[in-house]
Chains A and B, each alone.
Chain A
């Protein structure tokens, strides 16, 4: 018997987009959504055509220098997410949300001056922006493979990079909580941080465990049977990242839960599209 509730396809989609809504509300409640970036005078972007496209058109700069625009876009995204979570069949809404979220991601990470991995809240819309059933199905398959490859390739980078160095995680951990020590804002996570810095063998085991979880995504290249378990493992991996490295999962949860939809594409390729 499966430990997972047997929700209908439509209900699963609604839940996924309610998670996206919750994630976006977390950006607002944290105080880093578009309306809070008003007046920022420093950004740093890389050599990346996606960022160049938006910044050459002065879109992020315009949003950040016009407070009303930031507030309007924040409100619009919330409104559209509520509407879309009620009815994920509306492909035009999905397309609009994809563009708005991409604009938010490019603006936030440009002014944050740091590309995070949490682009999941943008990519999660891709399978839903197509009108034709077969296109939806193929888009879902492509996004699913991208998700798996994203984590798998991360493990390969580690395998070919620093797998032999036992002090790897301990060394990285020295920089992760330094601002907390500067402000004397310490607690169990900073205590754990210090423990792992000084116990390299234990931190190395955790490093290998994290890498194995990322590596396990490769199973999804051959079968969809384990997708739900992979999703849980990846969420566990991100929870560990938050505890050990102070890197949050917010922004990536809904994307990972797309793996819960794969059963519906397992039986027949057209079924996924028809049920949407």
Chain B
């Protein structure tokens, strides 16, 4: 279950199969990767998990789970719109989120500036993990 008062106690209980691959995401500002893993736990966790969810949002046509949930719910369009406005992120504002993310790590953003979200796929079949491939899933350029 994944609820506020009963959070994630089924963590690592789901079937994982026998996988030797994993994916992670990175933010690049002007082609330079923004490092996150040297921060104290909570900041590293915040940067890693919010980036993961933002990347999921990008990969699902700028939708979070609640967008689909509210669409499927048997409620009037007016209520749906009101709920959606408060419970899901603003699409326009969310476009510049990678810059906010970089700012949280202390990087000073000077425009013009380019931000990219990169997906990295790794294999763990060898002795050391090896990068299989990487691809940019989102890119934004702001001139000023």
How many positions in chain B have a CB within 8 Å of any CB in the partner chain?
Answer: 66
B69 touches A47 (CB 8 A): yes
Contact of B53 among A113, A116, A118 (CB under 8 A): A113
B1-28 vs A, Cβ < 8 Å mask (1 yes, 0 no): 0111111111111111111111110100
Binds B, one of A75-83, A104-112, A223-231: A104-112
Assuming the A-B contacts A161-B13, A174-B20, A182-B26, are A115 and B129 also in contact, with contact meaning beta carbons closer than 8 angstroms in the complex?
no
B53 touches A183 (CB 8 A): no
Assuming the A-B contacts A41-B93, A47-B69, are A194 and B43 also in contact, with contact meaning beta carbons closer than 8 angstroms in the complex?
no
Assuming the A-B contacts A183-B33, A194-B128, are A161 and B8 also in contact, with contact meaning beta carbons closer than 8 angstroms in the complex?
no
Contact of B48 among A29, A179, A181, A197 (CB under 8 A): A179
A154 at the interface (CB under 8 A from B): yes
Contacts of B89 in A (CB 8 A): 41-44
A114 touches B50 (CB 8 A): yes
Tally inter-chain residue pairs, CB-CB below 8 A.
197
Assuming the A-B contacts A117-B8, A171-B18, are A44 and B93 also in contact, with contact meaning beta carbons closer than 8 angstroms in the complex?
no
Binding site for A on B (CB under 8 A): 2-24, 26, 33, 35-46, 48-50, 52-54, 57, 64-66, 69, 83, 86-87, 89-90, 93-94, 96-97, 100, 103-104, 120, 122, 124, 127-129
B13 touches A26 (CB 8 A): no
| Given A42-B94, A50-B4, A197-B124: 9 more A-B contacts, CB < 8 Å | A30-B39, A31-B39, A32-B42, A116-B7, A169-B12, A171-B17, A178-B24, A181-B122, A183-B35
Name which residue of chain A comes closest to B95, CB basis: A41
A163-184 vs B, Cβ < 8 Å mask (1 yes, 0 no): 0010111111011001111110
CB A156 to nearest CB in B, in angstroms, measures 9
A268 at the interface (CB under 8 A from B): no
Contacts of B53 in A (CB 8 A): 42, 44, 113-114
